Amino acid sequence: MSPPRLYLLSLLLLLFLTASLAASASRLGPARGVTRTHTPHKGQDHLDVMGHRQPKSPKVAVVEDMAFWNERMQAELRTQLEKTEIVSQAKNIIFFLGDGTSISTLTAARYLKGLRTGNFEHEVMAYEKFPYSTLIKTYSADKMVTDSAASATAYLSGVKGNQQTIGVDVNVQLADCDAMNIPQFHTHSILRNFQ
Active site amino acids: 148
Q: How far apart are CA 37 and CA 195, in angstroms?
A: 65
**What is the number of helices (H) and of strands (E) in the chain?**
5, 0
Nearest to 97, CA basis, from 125, 126, 127: 127
Amino acid at 95: F
**Residue 45 assigned as binding residue:** no
Annotated binding site for Mg(2+): 99
Annotated binding site for Zn(2+): 99
Annotated binding site: 99
